[in-house]
Amino acid sequence: MAQVDTMTFRIAVEDHDRAIALFTDILQYQREHPELYYYSRSRTFFRPADDNPDHELWFFIDEYDDRDKYWESLMSALQSDPRSAENQRAWADIVLPPLPKGHEVWTEIDPLRVEYEGR
């Protein structure tokens, strides 16, 4: 069963390039430390905020096969790995208030998946 955690947050348009650099660094660290993070795929998207031309809405999707293992890995990394904790602080510093309330969990309905190989 595929599940995803999502979160939407705001970034100042003027911080777009800074956010790309920061999140690239954070995700590279996660790639280098798969023993700390339990997910199979992460993707990030953005779009202009409808209510404020100076803001962008960013949205990430972490995909995994076991929600408990995923969440435990995030919490454990924050508590036991100083770099993970610093990455969390750096992320929070660039996000505009109010900070997101948390992750939303979605479960895929397998029979409704459409996938085209090679596209």
Calculate mean pLDDT across residues 99-115. Answer: 91
Which among 111, 89, 95 has a CA at the least distance from the CA of 16? 95
* pTM confidence score: 0.87
Q: What is the pLDDT of residues 20-66, one digit of tens each?
A: 999 999 999 999 999 999 999 999 999 999 999 999 999 999 999 99
Work out the pLDDT band at 99, boundaries 50, 70, 90: confident
pLDDT of the residue at 89: 95
Question: Residue 17 carries which side chain, given as an amino acid letter?
Answer: D
Work out the pLDDT band at 93, boundaries 50, 70, 90: very high
Q: What is the 3-state secondary structure (H, E, C) of 40-98?
A: CEEEEEEEECCCCCCEEEEEEEEEECCHHHHHHHHHHHHHHCHHHHHHHHHHHHHCCCC
Where are the chain's structural domains?
A: 3-108
Q: Which class is domain 3-108? A: alpha beta
